[in-house]
Amino acid sequence: MTASVGVLVYNGYHELEFWYPVLRLREAGIAVSVLGVEGDQAAYSLLGYPVIPNSALTKVSPSDFSAIVIPGGNVRNIAQDSSLRAFLTEARGHGAVMAAISQAEALLPSADGVKSASTMIISQTSDELPQWTRKLLAELSS
């Protein structure tokens, strides 16, 4: 199966934590889909930069993705979104690599009740993005 990565975007996302993995993954030839947590309309970053998702999160299947990337930012706005929680839990259950950056670690589903454990790749800060991305690329190529 060819790797396919879903990268979440939401109002209040961190620009570098969104664009760095998107561009590096695309550079590596990996199919990247930008998924709008809050729908298919533009999401605005912490600094006000818009990104138009390829699709709303509710219109795709978690099983379509080898990995889910969750950039940090103001995750409080989406932390209680039940559709997002269900999507992430289902993706993890299908074995998708779960890759979170900084504040987004709080959104990762726990292993409780999940049949198959997926790999978790976590970056504590934006400074770790190069190493974090190399780990993600290595996991996707294995």
Domain span at residue 71 reads 4-141
pLDDT of amino acid 112: 60
pLDDT of amino acid 118: 64
DSSP state, 140? H
Strands (E), 37-109: 43-44, 50-51, 55-56, 67-70, 97-101
SS3 59: helix
How many domains in the chain?
Answer: 1
DSSP state, 46? T
Give the distance, in angstroms, between the CA of residue 139 and the centroid of all CA atoms in the same chain. Answer: 15
pLDDT of amino acid 30: 96
What HEC string does 95-115 produce? CCEEEEEHHHHHHCCCCCCCC
Q: Is-contact 73 103, C-beta < 8 A?
A: yes
pLDDT of amino acid 115: 44
pLDDT of amino acid 142: 83
CATH number at residue 107: 3.40.50.880
Each residue's pLDDT expressed in tens, for the chain with a length of 142 residues:
578 999 999 999 999 999 999 999 999 999 999 999 999 999 999 999 999 999 999 999 999 999 999 999 999 989 999 999 999 999 998 899 999 999 999 999 876 654 455 688 888 888 999 999 999 999 999 8
Report the C-alpha gap between 136 and 141 in whole angstroms: 9
Q: Is-contact 116 94, C-beta < 8 A?
A: yes
